[in-house]
Structure 1
Amino acid sequence: MGAGGHPCQGLYHRRAGTRPKTAVIATHYQIDFSEHYMADYLAERGIGFLGWNTRFRGDEARFILDYALTDIGVGVRWLREVAGVENVILLGNSGGGSLMAAYQSQAVAPSITPLPGMSLVAGVENLPAGDAYISTAAHLGRPDVLTSWMDGSVTDENDPLATDSSLDLFNPGNGPAYSAEFVERYRAAQVARNHRITGWVKAEFERITAAGYHDRPFSVFRTWADPRMVDPTLEPTNRKANLCYAGVPERANRSVFGIASACTLRTWLSLWSLEDSQTRAVAHLPNITVPSLVVNGLQDTGVFPSDAEAIRGLIGAQDKEFHELEADHYFLTPGARDELADLTAAWIEKRFGVSS
């Protein structure tokens, strides 16, 4: 890449003086995973760890799925051809869960189609498959998590203040606790909002391409408003009440730090649209037939047991395990990272060994 570019890159973690035969590769849609919090924990246990970034590290606003998958393939090939790894474990952490599921699915049963007006990038139909899949604190896909978190009371995408008070999560008259009737209406409104944005994106894409333009940026606001973040009686766990990854939901929801806050038309269709995005794990997990491990934290304020259960149920492998740990999303709970590392290392050793 030229100066200012975003090449795929990463850091390989291993115990000094060793050459691991089994290694993990972890990648996210845009978060820098080169120094992932589990890297040293697994390296200390004899497992190589490639914290890998696609060209969209820090640049999710321009994310295109097939380009990201080819970049992950570069990392997998490097592990095998340069690092000498025999067994490559795909680690899908947080948002990376659905991304790595899409990668494995595309490697074994290619199905990705290009965006309108584009061709698939070279190499995306010839990706090297992983030998196992691990899902930790993972979402079901970018469209799914965005829709679950987005504010269903928004009535005008061009006005951050436009609100249907009868659907306002932060209107004390609605709760918490929220009634089943309110939650049902709210969830339907969230889905409708995602579809409305998709409808506008497609119409706008047709309009600007007719004028000779390729794409355009836009913003999505108010995306920290999942009822479960506010009301702990909904899908109860050991999580703290009225908390999300960005702090108190009502305040976070009014900030500029939400997911999908910066998009282009093509990226919305590739990454966030319920109707069009190919990042939804539901389409890819059945194609994962290699040994699989699913781990979820019972104090997570953004991934909930139903998410982890759905992932376990959808994975096509016969050899799959499911575990719940007393941990938050980042496994910062005292001792949780060691516990996760011990669990993961034992699971890998049973199937592949970890000899260096």
Structure 2
Amino acid sequence: MSNSSPAAPVKYRRNPYLVVSQEKSLRKDVYGSIDDNVVRQAQLLRGERDSDTVVIAMHPIGSPAYLPLFSELARSGLHVIGCANRYSVGDSALQMENVLLDLGACVRDARERLGYRTVVLAGWSGGGSPMMGYQAEAEDPRITKTAAGEPTLLSEIPLPAADAVMLLAAPRSRHRLLTDFLDASVTNELQPELGRASEFDLYDPSNANQPPYSADFLEEYRARQRARSARITEFARETLATMRASGRPDAEHAFVVHGTMADPRWLDPTIEPNGRKPRWSYLGDPAVANTSPGALMRFTTTRSWLSQWSLDTAQIDAADAAPRVSVPVLVMVNGSDDAVPTSHPQQVFDAVDDGLRDLVELPEANHYFSGQGQKSHLRTAATEIHDWLQRRGLLTV
């Protein structure tokens, strides 16, 4: 690897491996786990040249090793580890405190077994806030219990700190993003079609409130979203308390959250404007996605809601964590992002120490770098990251 920006893509290979540790637990959150083993599926993407620097990516869902941006970073000559967390089959039972433990296991393995000296955390999309939250806990640990008030190994196992953090087209946190997306018209959580406030149904053509939305409508809509989040949080807390009071402290309750893709931004491009197209989202038509089983946060559990989605109890937030981070931070904004509100990366950037932060904007890139002309923006993103690593003295060979 040279000390200049990549002139042409390089060939790279994928080396799959596992990061395994043991944690005693009576409750199994992941199907297929054997005994007390916690298994994370990882891949090392690298070309022929050695390097002492590695970029580590993790995302709440699936393997980040197959995301377009991380493959492109490998083509630029960087060494990249795409490490899935223990919830690789889905995030319905995910607790963010465990994700930090999984990331710590991957960082530790990269340093101790693979021999990398410089570790850069890279969080794309929903992977951004766990990266910043992780670094904050590694430098200045404060989490002693899960969001459900239960013990966590974060209070016992020190997290190895990284040397830098990159937030790439990333929201401030999953719980704040979901709150922006909640369908404010839902009043009956079990059967939303039987309980809906029609004046807040964005997808009802007979609704008198149409884009561009008035400031009063938006204010009330956002208030209703926050109130709905609080109601679900109260349900999760009460359900856990009932199970514990009945002598079942390890019992869990799974449930469905309906209507989670109803952000007015998708219909009204004047709200936090960027280059996105109206009536469209990163999952396609938002009216269809709002009830789709593949939408953001459809299936969950009491502990996962409190840890991952609740505006009141979730503990991992990039902007809140940023003041505790003392390493360089890159915030990359996709200028036509159809998933992440423009306010989210700005809030994170503003919270980072002025001497540590850098901002890169890709004016025409959408969230997934998908569609006509997006490959060039993907290559630009990789080049910008490569150059930033050099400017910050993080790229060693």
| Kept in 1: contact 2:55–2:79 (CA 8 A) | yes
The amino acid across from 2:47 in the alignment is R
Is 1:349 matched up with 2:380?
no
Inter-partner Cα distance in structure 2 for 1:20 and 1:33: 21
| Contact 1:107 1:125 survives alignment (8 Å) | no
The equivalent position to 1:169 in structure 2, one of 183, 202, 206, is 202
Deviation at 1:23, TM superposition (A): 1.1
C-alpha deviation, 1:347, in angstroms: 0.5
Contact persistence 2:104–2:160 (CA under 8 A): yes
Indicate if the aligned counterparts of 2:175 and 2:308 stay in contact, CA closer than 8 A: yes
| 1:304 alignment partner, one of 341, 344, 347 | 341
Structure 2 equivalent of residue 101 of structure 1: 132
Contact 1:244 1:302 (8 Å CA) reproduced: yes
1:117/1:98 CA distance change after superposition, 3 Å = closer
Aligned-CA RMSD value: 1.9
> What is the alpha-carbon distance in structure 1 between the residues aligned to residue 43 and residue 64 of structure 2?
9
* 2:54 counterpart residue number: 23
Match of 1:67, SS state, is: helix
Q: Which amino acid aligns with 1:211?
A: S
**Residues 211-226 of structure 1 correspond to what in structure 2 (within 5 A)?**
211-213=246-248, 214-226=251-263
Contact 2:143 2:155 in 1 (8 A): no
In structure 2, C-alpha distance between the alignment counterparts of 1:4 and 1:78, rounded to whole Å: 23
| Aligned partner (choices 166, 185, 204) of residue 134 of structure 1 | 166
Alpha-carbon distance in 2 for matches of 1:13, 1:280? 28
- In the TM superposition, 1:117-196 aligns within 5 A as 118-121=150-153, 125-161=157-193, 162-172=195-205, 173-196=208-231
Which stretches in structure 1 are left out of the alignment for 5+ residues? none
Paired residues of 1:87 and 1:352 also in contact (CA < 8 A): no
Shift of the alpha carbon at 1:82?
2.3
Contact 1:46 1:355 in 2 (8 A): no
Give the equivalent residue in structure 2 for 1:293: 330
Q: Deviations over 1:259-305 (max 9, x none)?
A: 22111111111111111111222321211221111111111111122
Q: Where does 1:261-340 land on structure 2 (aligned, <5 Å)?
A: 261-316=298-353, 318-325=355-362, 326-332=364-370, 333-340=374-381
Q: How far apart in 2 are the matches of 1:133 and 1:353?
A: 11
Gap change, CA 1:190 and 1:81, over 3 Å in 2: same
Kept in 2, the 8 Å contact 1:22–1:352? The answer is no
Matched letter for residue 111 of structure 1: R
The corresponding residue for 1:207 is 242
- Whole-Å Cα distance in 2 between the matches of residues 334 and 212 of structure 1? 56
* CA shift in 2, pair 1:321/1:89, >3 Å: same
Instruction: Provide the residue aligned with 1:7 in structure 2.
Output: 39
Letter of the structure 2 residue corresponding to residue 26 of structure 1: A
Structure 1 stretches of at least 4 aligned residues deviating more than 3 Å after TM superposition = 122-125, 353-356
CA contact (8 A) 1:298 1:327 kept: yes
Q: Which residue of 2 aligns with 1:61?
A: 92
Q: Which moved more, 1:287-296 or 1:165-174?
A: 165-174
Task: Decide which moves more: 305-314 or 41-50.
Answer: 41-50
TM-score, L = length of structure 1:
0.94
| Secondary structure in structure 2 of the residue aligned to 1:61 | coil
Alignment of 1:41-60 (within 5 A): 41-60=72-91
Residue 250 (structure 1) aligns with: 287
Query: What TM-score results when the alignment is normalised by the length of structure 2?
Result: 0.85
Cα distance change on mapping 1:143 and 1:269 into 2, 3 Å: same
Could you report, residue by residue, the CA deviation over 1:191-236 in whole angstroms, capped at 9, with x for unpaired residues?
0000011111111111122223321111101101000011112122
Contiguous gaps of at least 5 residues in structure 2:
1-19, 21-29
User: Matches of 1:120 and 1:354 in 2, distance apart?
Assistant: 34
Amino acid at match of 1:69: L
Is 1:79 matched with 2:117? no
Q: Distance in 2 between matches of 1:338 and 1:124?
A: 41
Residues 89-146 of structure 1 deviation map (CA, whole Å, 9 limit, x = unaligned): 0111100110111110110011113234631126764011110111111011111011
Contact 1:139/1:307, CA 8 A, preserved across alignment: yes
Q: Distance in 1 between matches of 2:42 and 2:298?
A: 26
**Contact kept? 2:65, 2:71, Cα under 8 Å:** no
Moved more, 262-271 or 311-320: 311-320
**Residue-by-residue CA offset, 1:64-88 (whole Å, 9 max, x unaligned):** 2222211111111122122221111
Query: Aligned partner of 2:174: which letter?
Result: R
- Structure 2 Cα separation of the partners of residues 253 and 302 of structure 1: 13
> Structure 1 324/7 Cα, relative in aligned 2: closer, same or farther at 3 Å?
same
Q: Provide the rounded CA distance (Å) in 2 between the counterparts of 1:40 and 1:275.
A: 36
Aligned-residue identity in percent:
35
Tell whether the 8 Å contact from 1:27 to 1:96 is kept in structure 2 after alignment. Answer: yes
Match status 1:236 vs 2:279 = no
Q: Deviations over 1:129-186 (max 9, x none)?
A: 1101111110111110110001011111111212101211123411022111111110
Q: Distance in 2 between matches of 1:186 and 1:350?
A: 44
Letter in 1 for 2:166: I
Q: Comparing 138-147 with 247-256, which one deviates more in the overlay? A: 247-256
Task: Compare 48-57 and 77-86 and name the one that shifted more.
Answer: 77-86
For 1:143 and 1:284, the matched residues in 2 are separated by: 14
SS in 1 for 2:349: helix
Give 1:4 shift. 2.1
What letter matches 2:296 in structure 1?
Answer: I
Aligned AA for 2:306? L
